[in-house]
Structure 1
Amino acid sequence: MRLGTPTGPRHTPHPEGTAEPGRTGTGRVARGGLLAGLAVTLVAAGLLAAGKGQVPISPTEVLGSVLHRLGLDLGPLPSAVQGENALWLVRFPRVLLAVIVGASLGCAGALMQGIFGNPLAEPGVVGVSAGAAVGAAAAIVSGATLFGPWTTAAAAFLGGIVTTMIVYAMSRANGRTEVVTLVLTGVAVNATAGALLGLLMFLTDDDGVRAIAFWQLGSLSQATWAAVAVAAPCALAGLTVAAVLARRLDLLALGDRPARHLGVDTERLRITAIVATALLTASAVAFTGIVGFVGLVVPHLIRMVAGPAHRLLIPASALAGAVVVVTGDLIARTVIDYQELPLGVLTAVVGGPAFFWLLRRTRARSGGWG
């Protein structure tokens, strides 16, 4: 497999002035239908997830509680006071944070696959997840309290952003960024981050080791309204930037030289996309720990259904990522009574086999890795 080139047949975006999927006729209907279907699925998954737990609440009561808070006296309310408290103090923050995390990782994966021109790229390529892990571990081991209860999350966010910037700076030469160099630099930085993480775990006590291990496994158990309020603006900013870049990413699929002839500043495009990816991924993992495979598998599957046009691929990947994380968290906390599986472990159990299948499918379609 050649780094920086698509492993399957190259999809060429339609030039300006011609019909493009998602713009006219049946293409627009298909685009709207896919996004609407994903949105409805996300709402249904959210209502179901909010109602499941030790205090069961029906989806109609969940919806009625939301409408009541909006000033609309429609639908039934939870029959018990503890049900209403469980919804608004525990479950809704958790569901909303799952939506933010899933949308951020799905969108970040679509961006990375677009700028690398490779459907098997994912946000971890530029070291953001590894950097976030080192930042969180450093905060845990040092016992720092600079940001109070937000210290670990802030350290993880900064670690992810700083690591990404280091990878990007080290991969630049003569005013340009080589994609292959960027990937190899990311591999080296990820290895270094892994060594630092192991050293921090060696230096700390048993409680520190458990805290670092728990953070690495990924979980939404610490979700609060405050966490939602911090993560949401970062995710919204990253999603907005991704939507703005969609058309230029389609042109980049033609190759760097054709894209430059069509007026795309490919260097600026890659810088902006990498910064947006770092922002999305760092804000997601800062509050939940590492949740793997969402940014890799979800955009690839959406591309198989919807095609390569980024104006559809990016929002659809965000919605599908949100559905996956909301559903995964629901399974993680309900599959075993009175226990909760780590979300990152669950996504890896499902995402690992899915990735192997994608590898085999990609290799079969391209006739080998040559």
Structure 2
Amino acid sequence: MTVESTTPVPKRRTLKALPVLAAGGIVVLLASLSMAVSVGAVSVSAGTVWGVLLNKLMPGMIEATWSQGREAIVWDIRFPRALLAMMVGAGLGLVGASLQAVTRNPLADPHLLGISSGGAFGAILALLHTGLFLGLLTVPLFAFFGALMATGLVLGVSRIADATSADRLVLAGVAVSFIVMAAANLLIFLGDPRASHTVVFWMLGGLGLARWDQLIYPLVILLASGGWLLSRAGALNAMTVGDETASTLGIPVARFRLLVFAVGALITGVMVAFSGIIGFVGLMVPHIVRMLVGGDYRRVLPASAVVGAIFLLWADVVARTAMAPEDIPIGVITGLIGGLFFIWLLGRRR
């Protein structure tokens, strides 16, 4: 048997494995959602969780055998929190994968590039100094513009310092992140001391403020921006090869890179507005996904969304149960796991 006749076999096996991986991802996601809603200071059985959900979606379909207190815990507290965790994890996974493609940098991440810090700066500015003069949209809008400002600063610093290499771009992002966080700390210092404790949520990350009436904002941004990124998966594949190759394929490299950064800033800013700074999700998830499905962004992007949602669901479970009944800020959990993953990744690259 010749070599040529044997080479397509791994590809066929990979293609056959993709539906299995997709179905497995959905099953794990639903199981993780059920677990995230079930566990806590008050344990609720999985049957009660899905019974409450069905009863809310189709009233009278099943007989309610649970107490009003447990229904309130499941529907009013834990389900919004779990859904927000899924949206934030999916959004950060998409942003991380996209940034790694357009920068050709495996260490690119909205946290390391200062985008998350910019979003936190905007949220703190709205909460402590401007007030909610635009209603519930004030904090998401300010967080988006803060993230966009940080993105512009990173690109400006990298251009001024001629930091065109992948490693130097990350260093520029880290420098901008420190500067923006210093400015955010100054806003806290100058703000009302009685209200400053509320912004600790945005500094450490948390999902405890999730509410049904506010989930529409991150959901719309995630669907619209994520849909656009998925539609540009082919261009992201070309960008991973190099700017010259992408240009020969008719892609306006500079404009496309700026568009991806802007969309990434939009997703990150809105997610930060509702969850605070949650680091390293965008760094870890795309690497894990590429080990499972390969490097084609038509598979990497949707898989990053699913794996990111699963990861943040379980991180929230750990945050709620490790020191129950107290909640550990979820940014502490992701920071610990992400730091260890970062060290492993550096050793693997070496």
TM-score bracket, shorter-length normalisation? 0.7 to 0.9
1:199 to 174, 182, 186: 186
What's the offset of the Cα at 1:242?
A: 1.4
What does the per-residue CA deviation read over 1:10-69, in whole Å, with 9 as the maximum and x for residues that have no partner? xxxxxxxxx899xx8433322222222121111101011112234422112212232333
From 198, 201, 223, the equivalent of 2:210 is 223
* Match in the other structure for 2:94: 107
1:243 counterpart residue number? 230
Per-residue CA distance 1:153-192 (angstroms, 9 max, x = gap):
443233223332454467679xxx9566865654443233
CA contact (8 A) 1:235 1:279 kept: no
Q: Distance in 1 between matches of 2:24 and 2:32?
A: 12
| CA distance 1:358–1:187, change in 2 (3 Å) | closer
1:266 aligns with 2:253: yes
Is residue 281 of structure 1 aligned with residue 248 of structure 2? Answer: no
Q: CA RMSD in A?
A: 2.8
The 5-angstrom pairing of residues 161-240 of structure 1 reads: 161-168=148-155, 186-240=173-227
Quote the Cα distance in structure 2 between the aligned partners of 1:272 and 1:61.
45
TM-score (norm 1): 0.83
Distance 1:250 1:349 in 2: 31
Paired residues of 1:67 and 1:73 also in contact (CA < 8 A): no
Q: In structure 2, what residue type is equivalent to 1:101?
A: V
Q: 2: distance between equivalents of 1:198 and 1:54?
A: 33
Aligned to 2:146: 159
Decide which of 69, 76, 79 is 1:82's aligned counterpart: 69
How far apart, in 1, do the equivalents of 2:57 and 2:196 lie? Answer: 44
1:137 maps to 2:124: yes
CA contact (8 A) 1:64 1:74 kept: no
| Shift in Å, 1:74 | 7.1
Shifted more, 35-44 versus 108-117: the winner is: 35-44
TM-score, normalised by the number of residues in structure 2: 0.87
Matched, 1:66 2:53: yes
SS at match of 1:57: coil
Provide the C-alpha distance between the structure 2 equivalents of 1:217 and 1:329, rounded to a whole number of angstroms: 13
1:345 and 2:332 correspond: yes
Amino acid aligned to 1:326: L
Rounded to whole Å, the distance in 2 between the matches of 1:145 and 1:64 is: 37
1:280-326 deviations in whole A, cap 9, x for unaligned? 21121110100111011111121122221111111111111100111
Letter in 2 for 1:331: V
| 1:144 CA drift (Å) | 1.6
Distance 2:45 2:61 in 1: 15
Q: Distance in 1 between matches of 2:49 and 2:157?
A: 50
Instruction: Write out per-residue CA displacement over residues 84-136 of structure 1, whole angstroms, 9 at most, x where no aligned residue.
Output: 22222111111111110000001110001111112111123543211112112
**Secondary structure of 2:241's match?**
coil
Q: Does 1:97 align with 2:84?
A: yes
Residues 294, 183 of structure 1: CA spacing in aligned structure 2 closer, same or farther, 3 A cutoff?
closer
Q: CA deviation at 1:215?
A: 1.8
Mapped contact 1:78–1:84 kept (Cα < 8 A)? no
2: distance between equivalents of 1:118 and 1:171?
Answer: 14
Rounded Cα–Cα distance in structure 1 between residues aligned with 2:16 and 2:45: 33
Q: Contact between 2:117 and 2:147, CA under 8 Å: does it hold in 1?
A: yes
**Alignment partners' CA distance in 2, 1:81 and 1:267:** 56
Which amino acid in the other structure matches residue 215 of structure 1?
W
Instruction: Please say if 1:306 is aligned against 2:304.
Output: no
Identity %, equivalent residues:
37
Checking the alignment, whether the CA contact within 8 Å between 2:52 and 2:75 is kept in structure 1 is no
5+ residue gaps, structure 1 = 1-18, 364-370
Of residues 33, 36, 57 in structure 2, which corresponds to 1:49?
Answer: 36
Contact 2:118 2:150 in 1 (8 A): yes
Contact 2:118 2:143 in 1 (8 A): yes
Counterpart CA distance in 2 for 1:300 and 1:161 is 25
- Distance in 2 (alpha carbons) for counterparts of 1:93 and 1:347: 20
CA distance in 1, matches of 2:346, 2:13: 31
> By percentage of residues, which structure has more helix?
2
Q: What number of residue pairs does the alignment pair up?
A: 342
Residue identity opposite 1:212 in structure 2: V
The answer as to whether partners of 1:97 and 1:227 remain within 8 angstroms in 2 is no
2: distance between equivalents of 1:349 and 1:178?
30
CA distance in 2, matches of 1:272, 1:154: 18
Contact 1:220 1:343 in 2 (8 A): yes
> In 1, distance between residues paired with 2:131 and 2:208?
22
Which of 131, 134, 140 is residue 147 of structure 1 equivalent to? 134
